[in-house]
Amino acid sequence: MLIDKIWERIKQCEGDTFKQIRGKEFTYSVEGNYVYLNTTERSISKNEFAKALKLVPLENTVQLQKFQAPSYLFAILMDKHIRKTDW
């Protein structure tokens, strides 16, 4: 499944710096099936990533507004280290 491949990449990039659309940088840690963001007390579940994957590729965060932490979801999913050549 695509989510399992993407989740492995997300885990491998734990601690790396990511950038939101407006330039704010952040890192994250992964514990179990959750990504914990360092710049907010929010977390994003693997299930949220799986649902968001159905919408990629993304041009901006508009399609993700119904999800938890849409700007962070966008930044992680659209990063070249996560998406590679999948979309």
Structure tokens that stand for 27 in this block = 């890192």
CB 18 within 8 A of CB 28: yes
With 70 as the cut, is the pLDDT of residue 80 above it? yes
What pLDDT, on a 0 to 100 scale, did the predictor assign at position 68?
A: 92
The per-residue pLDDT for range 21-58, each reduced to its tens digit, is: 999 999 999 999 999 999 999 999 999 999 999 999 99
pLDDT band, very low/low/confident/very high, at 87 (cuts 50, 70, 90): low
pTM above 0.85, yes or no: yes
Q: Which residues pair with 43 in a beta bridge?
A: 36
d(CA 15, CA 18): 9
Contacts of 40 (CB under 8 A, 6+ apart): 69, 72
CB 18 within 8 A of CB 83: no
